[in-house]
Amino acid sequence: MQRAAYAQARACLDRIGADHIALDRTVSELTLAERQLVEIAKALYQKPRLLILDEATSALGADAVERVFAVIRQLRGEGCGILFISHRFHEVHALADVISVFRNGAHVRTFPAGTIDHADMVSLMIGQSLERLFPPRPPLPAYDTPPLLSLSQVGWENELHNVSFDVRPGEIFGLGGLDGQGQQRVLEAVFGLLSRVSGEVRINGQTYSGRNPARSKSRKIGLAFIPEDRKTEGLIPGLSISENLALAALGGRLGPELDPGDRARIAAILDRLELAFGKMEDAVATLSGGNQQKVLLAKWLVLSPRCLLLLDPTRGIDVKTKAQIYTLLAQLAAEGMAIVLQSTDYEELVHLCHRVAVFYQGRIARQLSGDTLQPEMLISAAMGLASDHTAGEVA
Amino acid sequence: MKRIDLRVLIPAVALAILLVVYFASHPRGFSTRVLTIWSNQSVLLVFAAFAQFFVVMVRGIDLSVGAMVALSNVVASYVLAGEGVSLVFGTFAVLATGLACGLINGLVVTLGRIPPIIATLATGAVFSGVALALRPTPGGAVNEGLSDALSYAVGPVPTSLILILLAGVVFSMIMRRTVFGLEAQGVGSSEHSAALTGISLIRVRIIAHGLGGLCAALCGYYLAMVTLTGDAGVGPTYTLNSIAAIVLGGVSLAGGVGKAWGVVIGALLLKTVAAVMFFSGLPPLTQPFFEGFVLAAAVVLGSLGLVRVRNRLKLFSQ
């Protein structure tokens, strides 16, 4: 009986391409993407008549999504109803037969897939027409600008090997690749969450050793880190908006009262992000995902960091907020901030970043910029197909 | 003002009702004398509850509260017998004893990476052992002038009631107006986020245990004022009652949620229930049953807010 159950579980995981997940690993060891695959496998195991996928692919990279989709299409063929909820257009377009758009808790419209084009669908979703999701790329900093953040030969355990890159002020640097190829670890290593990291990290040309979060956020270093899972790693849900903001801004100061300068900066940042909230005293847990992400951004921007490290900041967030976050990132870069953006959404990397380092098995498989920064190049490099390993190349 | 917290409001109402019942049923009625007896008993539990509170706020638990109370009580019975300046040094010695115990707990829990429940069970046994070695049988002496000053009344107001209010005000300020208070709430409700924000989990935990130890010492100190002796055996009831008191006061054992005034109210409520039973005329053997019943009712009332939770996933998340 038990052996049969294991065999079935194995089969479910293999079917969606999660053959690398051993059955005896605990879920807490898995990455977010692997957990999503386990969730999907769990659902398949029940042989459902109606399968509801609520942002179930939000942390998955392009190839994993494709394998899951293949299984979903097969299920559809077998007569299973699929309800697929996602903020990623191309996924909805690729999968759905009928599309319903919802906005602010109300049904807007239902239509057969293909009858309404991309732009019209976006305007249905946000209730107004959005010229474009992505803002114009900010101007590239002068060629001879010295790098603000520079990594050389960074390695950690078995997950990172010889990672080197430079990010100049004013530049948006993307980290891409399939999930779990080390791109998240790089940012954690820089911010000081990992111990025994080899190699060197330099800020403004000076070696930054003895890294830890408290030192990273100090004015001298000026790093800010937006983690992947805003609910458990980013914000403290029980505290109010203002307390969450204060917590980041306090660095060894005496009272938790923010000084007027901080207050003015917070107001300006929240205004810029168009945060929708009742009172600053409201608990963060009462806000929507998009608004929580805005609070998280605001919390770090209050510190006026010089370099912003982001892990998948738009995962599971509505289009309008996405567009606002993109615009904000472009503005911040134009004001001279160095931005490192890790993302599983390749459109984001292609349209927003100046340069993208594609990771494969803990190494930089390829750096793309300018003409080479195309979706096809990105995906082929992510799959490890690029023949020339130009790791550490400086554009 | 923020919206009123039901977790504090409901026990507060329960306390008010019980207090009326208590003074109405007390054979001597309401007088400064009766109030003093009530608040002298209560202040002990208030301090013990705060000893538990700070640790629970950072998602820990302290099973050594009683042992710390006993040890500081025993120390007090040695150092508070003198006159004048020696009393000042004696007071510092008692507080330092509790602080040291708390800091040891904090170090064992953080640097030793031992789960709090095991760590404090072990350190608690050690503290009890030291207390027993110092004073195998109850005894010792305490300066009677000091004892009178702290256990009688200032005009119509019992000194211990002033201490209770002072504890509420000071600890409430610590939780709401200091960086430590905010950090403790952060660490308790979301450890990951707190660490990523650059808060040192180790430092916050050690401070919380240190403060807890200091509160336990205050309890032991006041116990010496009331009993005029040191007794190494007073510990166990304080540990359990400290946990019961903070839960009654709306503090979540999962950490991060709780108010200092809730702790005061919870402790007073727990003490008052016992006091009401004493004068209730119920057969003594049935009193524990009714006492437990009233406490359970208070906790259930406190969680009535959850009835409004419509999301099944969030039913037990508070």
Q: A328 versus A346: which is more confidently predicted?
A: A328
Q: How far apart are the C-alpha atoms of A180 and A195, rounded to whole Å?
A: 18
Whole-angstrom distance, CA of residue A181 vs CA of residue A175: 10
A217, A250, A255 ranked by CB distance to B177: nearest: A255
Tell me the CA distances in angstroms from B123 to A198, B104, B127, B130, one per residue in order.
Answer: 39, 8, 6, 11
Q: Under DSSP, is residue A321 helix (H, G, I), strand (E, B) or coil?
A: helix
pLDDT for residue A392: 41
Q: Stretch B136-153: mean pLDDT, rounded? A: 92
Could you tell me the pTM of the whole model?
A: 0.79
Say whether pLDDT at B220 is over 90: yes
Percent of all residues in chain A with a pLDDT value above 70, rounded to a whole number: 91
Size of interface A-B (CB pairs under 8 A): 74
User: Which residues of A fall within a CB distance of 8 Å from B200?
Assistant: 214
Query: C-alpha angle with apex B77: B73 to B81, nearest 5 degrees?
Result: 145
Give CA separation, A328 vs A270, A335, A342, in Å.
11, 10, 16
Q: What percent of chain A has pLDDT over 90?
A: 26
* Sign of the alpha-carbon torsion through A10, A16, A17, A23: negative
Contact flag A235-B183 (C-beta cutoff 8 Å): no
Reported as a single tens digit per residue, the pLDDT across B253-265 is 888 888 999 999 9
Mean model confidence pLDDT for chain A: 83
Tell me the C-alpha distance between B210 and A236, whole Å.
24
Contacts of A304 (CB under 8 A, 6+ apart): A219, A222, A265
- Partners of A299 on chain B (C-beta within 8 Å) are 197
CB contact under 8 A, A225 and B196: yes
| Cβ <8 Å between B183 and A246 | no
The predicted-structure confidence for A87-118, as pLDDT tens digits, reads as follows 777 788 888 999 998 876 788 889 998 888 87
- Closest residue in B to A279 (Cα) is B2
Shortest CA distance to A340 belongs to which of A257, A225, A251? A225
Option in A212, A216, A256 nearest B178 (CB): A256
CA–CA dist B182, A123 (Å, integer):
42
The predicted-structure confidence for A334-354, as pLDDT tens digits, reads as follows 999 999 999 988 888 988 999
* Statement: residue B192 has pLDDT above 90: no
Could you report the per-residue pLDDT of B35-85, keeping only the tens digit for each?
A: 999 999 999 999 999 999 999 999 999 999 999 999 999 999 999 998 889
pLDDT recorded at residue B147: 92
Confidence of residue A252 (pLDDT cuts 50, 70, 90): very low
Which residues of A, range 328-367, sit inside 8 Å of B by Cβ? none
State the pairing for strand pair A355-360/A172-177. parallel
CB contacts, 8 Å: A225 with chain B: 196
Residue of chain B with shortest Cα separation from A235: B193
**According to DSSP H, which parts of chain B are helical?**
6-25, 32-57, 65-79, 85-110, 116-134, 144-151, 159-177, 179-189, 191-196, 201-227, 235-248, 260-278, 287-302
Region A361-386 average pLDDT = 83
Q: Return the residue in B180, B196, B317 with the most chain A beta carbons within 10 A, the one to mutate for interface testing.
A: B196
Closest chain A C-alpha to B66 CA, distance in angstroms: 31
Q: Strands A160-167 and A149-156, how do they pair? A: antiparallel
Is A253's pLDDT higher than 70? Answer: no
Mutate to test the interface with A, among B191, B197, B203, B259 (most CBs of A within 10 A): B197
Could you give the CA distance from residue B13 to residue B28 in angstroms, rounded to a whole number?
A: 24
Higher-pLDDT residue of A255, A331: A331
In this complex, which of A236, A252, A255 lies closest to B193 when CB atoms are compared?
A236
Helix axes B179-189, B32-57, angle to 10 degrees: 60
Inter-chain residue contact A254 with B179, CB threshold 8 Å: yes
Assess: ipTM above 0.90.
Answer: no
Residue B289 confidence (pLDDT) = 85
A295: contact with B, CB 8 A cutoff:
no
Task: Compute φ and ψ for A53, nearest 5 degrees.
Answer: -115, 105
pLDDT-derived band at A45, boundaries 50, 70, 90: confident
pLDDT at B4: 60
- pLDDT tens digits for range B226-285: 999 999 999 888 998 999 999 889 888 888 888 999 999 999 999 998 888 887 778 888
Chain-chain contact of B197 with A281 (C-beta, under 8 angstroms): no
pLDDT at B306: 55
* B255: nearest Cα among B205, B313, B168, B185: B185
**What pLDDT does residue B318 have?**
44
Q: Between residues 206 and 235 of chain A, which touch chain B (CB distance below 8 Å)? A: 212-217, 225, 227, 232-235
Alpha-carbon gap, residue A238 to B256, rounded angstroms = 8
Instruction: Give me the phi and psi of B158, to 5 degrees please.
Output: -60, 140
Query: A198 - beta bridge partners?
Result: A155
How many CB atoms lie under 10 A from the CB of residue B172? 17
Residue of B nearest to A192 (CA): B196
- Nearest by Cα to B14 from B308, B251, B252, B249: B249
pLDDT tens digits along A11-36: 888 888 888 888 888 888 888 788 88
Residues of B in contact with A236 (CB under 8 A): 185-186, 189-190, 193-194, 256
Candidates A32, A221, A226, A247: best to mutate against B (most CBs of B within 10 A) is: A247
Q: Looking at residue A19, what is its pLDDT?
A: 84
Taking an 8 Å cut-off on Cβ atoms, the answer to whether A236 and B196 are in contact is no
Q: Of A155-159, A218-222, A258-262, B172-176, which range is least confident? A: A258-262
C-alpha distances out from residue A127 to A54, A132, A300, Å: 22, 14, 30
